[in-house]
Amino acid sequence: MPPQDRPDPSLRSADAPRVEDSATSGTAPRGDQRTSIRSGAHRKRAVPRKAAPPRRGARKAGTPSRQQRAKRRAGSTKPPTKGRSSRRSAARTRRLDTLSDPALYGKLRTLTVGAHRIAPGQSRHVNLKVSETMLGRALHMPVTVVNGGQPGPTVFLAAAIHGDELNGVQVIRTLITRLSAAPLRGAVLAVPIVNVEGLLHGERYLRDRRDLNRNFPGDPQGNLAERLAASVMDLVRQCDVAIDLHTASIGRCNMSHVRGDLRQPDARLLAKAFGAEVTIDRPGHGSSLRGAASDAGIPTLTFEGGEAHRFEPQVVSTAVLGISNVLTALRMVDGVVIEPPFRIIVRQSLWVRAPKGGILLMHVSPREVVHQGQVIAVLSTPFGTEEEAIRAPFTGLVLGITTSPLAHPGTPICHMIKLEKTLAKVSRVLGSAPPPAGPMVSDR
């Protein structure tokens, strides 16, 4: 859940671009000249504008091509070592600048979605044919392109790769209504529903029970999941960065956070710009969208927030704010980057598991500080007897919990990260339950 003191980004209406299916084409330039996509802020970090837009049609002398940048990112997977030299630090700083330097994106690009070509300055909704039902009818994936009238990076956004994870659908729907092509520096290529059949059936997986997010980068000649993944990768490869929106799987609820491989400097820049309270620094699974896009040299973040089958306004607001921060940090829109009230970057997390089967009463919620030994849940029999408390193994923050009141032995019930240096600050922001004392079973 987002911090209480963050403002909800205000909704603004905008002229809708034309909707087209994959058999037609056309253009719908936008007249709206706004570049800022939100208003209001508490803690703001100004992002300086470049004095002049970069020269059109050519890269600056000595700057790398897109392919060179992709190679450099792909090769930058070594973890940082202690005691790096100042020269190395300077090089790293320059690398951080590359992603947000408009000089590297000097050429206006035409983007391709299937047979459609979307020129700079145009916005387009496309129903892209990606498969067929078993009745032979076309299966379309909705794709929105807002191709800016000024040079800049191209950002890929995806939601509902797992068809029952809906918060990201609303995140993308909200964002694309706020973007206008003409003033945008760069482009946004967004897929609000990747797994259309899964969403229609309220299911995480594809109809053949495959997990789409374990079939990247896909294969246009492969099975259903691989073909769909290949269609998505055709879009991703046109982009410079990617953000993939998820929720917890069914039966669990997550605190909003991002995941990325922060050994990659550009992924680190993305995560910093997004401004999540918690970042898990971990490479993506090799067959996930994040893993495949990272392998292709495209720094990628995964956002995780809330639970399946729901639109949760606070989670949606947090993700909209985070992506707005990224677009601002990349100088694609004017505005300010809004800092979170605290930042935690962790590599390790732990799922606390039920020691035995029983009826489960949770005593903690996501985004709550718990102290070592504090009761986080109670297991009991159907008669309400033989209660057994499950206690926190360390002092930390609850990242996610099960939402089911029933547990088998070994059921993961509480996802925690350890708090050490940041404990005082996080406790101040979130408030803190007192250290465990008194009866074993709390009456909360």
Q: Judged by CB under 5 A, which stretch of 158-166, 253-261, 361-369, 385-393 contacts Zn ion?
A: 158-166
Pick 105 or 205: Cβ nearer Zn ion: 205
Q: Which stretch binds Zn ion (CB under 5 A): 76-84, 139-147, 245-253, 263-271?
A: 245-253
Q: Give the count of residues interacting with Zn ion (CB under 5 A).
A: 3
Shortest Å, Cβ 252 to Zn ion: 11
C-beta of 200: minimal distance to Zn ion in Å?
17
Q: Select 142 or 163, whichever has its Cβ closest to Zn ion.
A: 163
| 246 near Zn ion, rule: CB under 5 A | yes
* Interface of this chain with Zn ion, residues 162 to 181, rule: CB under 5 A: 162, 165
Of 54-62, 246-254, 360-368, 415-423, the segment contacting Zn ion by CB under 5 A is: 246-254
In whole angstroms, how close is the CB of 212 to Zn ion at the nearest point?
A: 9
Calpha distance 197→204 (Å, rounded)? 10
Of 151 and 218, the one with the shorter C-beta distance to Zn ion is: 218
Q: Which stretch binds Zn ion (CB under 5 A): 244-252, 307-315, 332-340, 406-414?
A: 244-252
CB closer to Zn ion, 160 vs 378: 160
Q: How far is the CB of 287 from Zn ion (least distance, A)?
A: 13
Instruction: Please identify, using beta-carbon distances, which residue of 187 and 289 lies nearer to Zn ion.
Output: 289
Name the minimum Å distance from CB 67 to Zn ion: 31
CB of 162 to Zn ion, least distance (A): 4
For Zn ion, which is the closer residue by CB, 165 or 307? 165
Residue 95 or 162: the one with the smaller Cβ distance to Zn ion is 162
Give the range of 67-75, 238-246, 269-277, 311-319 binding Zn ion by CB under 5 A.
238-246
Q: Which residues bind Zn ion (CB under 5 A)?
A: 162, 165, 246
